[in-house]
Amino acid sequence: MRFEEELVELLPRLRRFARGLTRDASDADDLCQAAIERALKSREQWQQGTRLDSWMYRITRNLWIDDRRAAGRRGQHDPIDDAVTQVAGDGAAEVEAGALAGDVDSAMARLPDEQREVVMLVLVEGYAYREAAEILDVPIGTVTSRLARGRETLMHILGEAA
């Protein structure tokens, strides 16, 4: 009973995280659904007394990564990824910045997956660097460097637009 209740309490935040990862409301709920199903199935793996939220975020994020990889193998190509490299270039960046002024969604879409997930965890969900590193299963230095690059790109696109 507790377990389900805690999951329900967590759901709004989990949906927000999933929305940021997938950038699409119904994809995000599909992801949440898969994550809940996975969590219910493997609930013995969650240790009482440890944080349920970190565990759920990790499940959600891993399912999403699996899905992205599978899509990549199927040859589906995310057109957004092409744009990432452009933003780094000077001239293109200016054009992009103008066109995208004020649009957080488009700006987030410009980030590579591994930067976007860190941005969501730290800047939006409010996790400490160490907690984000645990959720993502990467060293803390990886979190800080990805976060720095993600921030830079976002500030470039959004920051100067106003």
Partner 1 sequence: MTHDPATIAAFVDGELDDLTARRIEREAANDAALAAEIRRQRELKDRLRSHFAPVLDEPLPDRLTQLLRAEAAVDTSLAERRAARQARFGGQWGAMQWGAMAAALVLGLTVGMQPWGPASPVAVESGALVASGPLANALDTQLASNQPADAATRIGLSFRAQDGRYCRSFESAAVDGIACREGEGWTLEQTLRGSQATDYRQASSASLAAAAAAMMAGEPLDAEGERAARDAGWKRGRGE
The residues of the shown chain that bind partner 1, judged by CB under 8 A, are 1-2, 4-9, 11-13, 15-16, 19-20, 29, 32-33, 36-37, 40, 51, 104-105, 108, 119, 122-129, 144, 147-148, 151-152, 154-155, 158-159
Smaller CB separation from partner 1, 75 or 162: 162
Joined together, the tokens standing for residue 94 give 């200016």
Closer to partner 1 by CB, 37 or 137: give it: 37
Q: C-beta of 6: minimal distance to partner 1 in Å?
A: 8
What is the rounded distance in angstroms from the CA atom of residue 111 to the CA atom of residue 83?
A: 9
Rank residues 100 and 122 by Cβ distance to partner 1 and give the closer one: 122
Q: Which residues contact 117 (CB under 8 A, 6 or more apart)?
A: 21, 61, 136
Q: Which is nearer to partner 1, 32 or 63 (CB)?
A: 32
DSSP 68-102: HHHHHHTT---HHHHHHHHHHSHHHHHHHHHHTTT
Least distance in Å: CB of 138 to partner 1? 16
CB of 151 to partner 1, least distance (A): 6
The greatest distance separating any two alpha carbons of the chain, rounded to the nearest whole angstrom, comes to 56
Q: What are phi and psi of 42, to 5 degrees?
A: -110, 35
Sign of the alpha-carbon torsion through 132, 31, 71, 89: negative
Smallest distance from the beta carbon of 72 to partner 1, in angstroms? 26
Judged by beta carbon, residue 7 or residue 87, the one nearer partner 1 is: 7
